[in-house]
Amino acid sequence: MRFFLSAVLASSAAAHQMVTSISVSGNSFGDGTCVRVPLNTDPLLSLTDKSIVCNVGGDKAVGRTCDVDAGQEITFVWRTWPDGSRNDPISDSHKGPCAVYMKKVGSFNDAVEGDGWFKIWHEGYENGMFCTERLRNNGGIMSVRVPQDLTAGGYLIRAETLALHQAVSTQPPQNIGGSQWYVTCVQLHVHSTGGEARPPTVSIPGYTTPDHPGVHYDIWGHKLSLPYRIPGPEPYVPTSAGGGPRRGPVNPPKSCPVSNANWCSRPVPGFSDEAGCYRSSGDCWAQADTCYREAPATGNKGCKEWEKICEGYNAHCAKCGAERNCNGGFNRKRARARGLSSVGEEKL
């Protein structure tokens, strides 16, 4: 019995989702990069709680912001397994609409909740399918165009899916308020030349209510009540040409040759003797610790990559120590011959 219960719990845990990465013009910025990665894939159930804005913990800024041009296409990747260890974009039981909102910020430390949000895209029920069903068929890929007339600056972009499988239940209190929200926010820097958009905005929380006909909606009846009404405002339609330079994504930043989600490696200090070499290796390992500690639900692939560089330092220190040849710094060619990454080497 016990085994059976845990199997049921495991399968329901697997049935949730989050955004794990973004791409611009087909180039991915990497797992978790610029993403305020949620703690887990659990749904949000309250439309009044602050967590409905950017998920639990999503009110805090992350260290990286991704570049995009006004008018460019941005793609969100949705996953059920945040680290991609299993390939399941989104559960087929999670039927409902999708939406994407943006909010201009002066700083990424600005409050996420409150006014300032405008919707740039949504999809409800079309051609016999809910948006989430199409998203599942599409491998979890959700693409939207950043309005071409946006003014330049920092923006939060918020992707949302709504799962309606428990939205209407005969069991109080779920007869209303059983809808499951999945949201993830991403930090963007929008480049634009002379955009003048003034989209009408809404407040989150406050943009919709549990009794909205598209939120308190029965997907289990003999016949769906159509047309389906998507919660929230209408999407903003660009009114002027505006537009940005076509620069494409900056990935990765030059200052950040090895990264994991929003963690960036920094140069390891140079050295001129064996002790210095081990100090540099120690610095490398300390950075690796930070990387693993900060690794979000999307995983720690980049930390493993960095760890290999640290191992390379250790091997180098042992060898140059034995050869009494650590002074005079670090020979690039020799380092490469010894299999030391050019990334770590570059910084010496």
Q: How many whole angstroms separate alpha carbon 31 and alpha carbon 51?
A: 22
Q: In angstroms, what is the minimal distance from the CB of 53 to Cu ion?
A: 20
Omega before 252 within 30 of 0, i.e. cis: yes
C-alpha 317: how far from chain center: 38
For Cu ion, the closer of residues 29 and 181 by Cβ is: 181
Q: In 172-294, where do the E strands start and end?
A: 180-191, 202-204, 259-260, 263-264
8 Å CB contact between 100 and 158:
yes
Report 278-337 residues binding Cu ion (CB under 5 A).
none
Binding Cu ion (rule: CB under 5 A), the pick from 10, 15, 123, 307 is: 15
| Interacting span for Cu ion (CB under 5 A) from 7-15, 109-117, 149-157, 237-245 | 7-15
For Cu ion, the closer of residues 65 and 161 by Cβ is: 161
For Cu ion, the closer of residues 41 and 341 by Cβ is: 41
* 79 is a site residue for Cu ion (CB under 5 A): no
Name the phi and psi angles at 126, rounded to 5: -140, 140
Q: How many whole angstroms separate alpha carbon 52 and alpha carbon 209?
A: 12
Say how many Å lie between the first and final Cα of the chain, rounded. 60
For Cu ion, the closer of residues 15 and 261 by Cβ is: 15
| Interacting span for Cu ion (CB under 5 A) from 10-18, 55-63, 68-76, 185-193 | 10-18
* 16 is a site residue for Cu ion (CB under 5 A): yes
**Run of H or E including 125:** strand 125-126
| Interacting span for Cu ion (CB under 5 A) from 9-17, 169-177, 269-277, 327-335 | 9-17
For Cu ion, the closer of residues 43 and 195 by Cβ is: 43
Q: In angstroms, what is the minimal distance from the CB of 99 to Cu ion?
A: 18
* 216 is a site residue for Cu ion (CB under 5 A): no
The answer for residues whose C-beta is within 8 angstroms of residue 15's C-beta and 6 or more apart is: 80, 91, 93, 94
Q: Count interface residues toward Cu ion (CB under 5 A).
A: 2
For Cu ion, the closer of residues 15 and 159 by Cβ is: 15
The site for Cu ion (CB under 5 A) is made up of 15-16
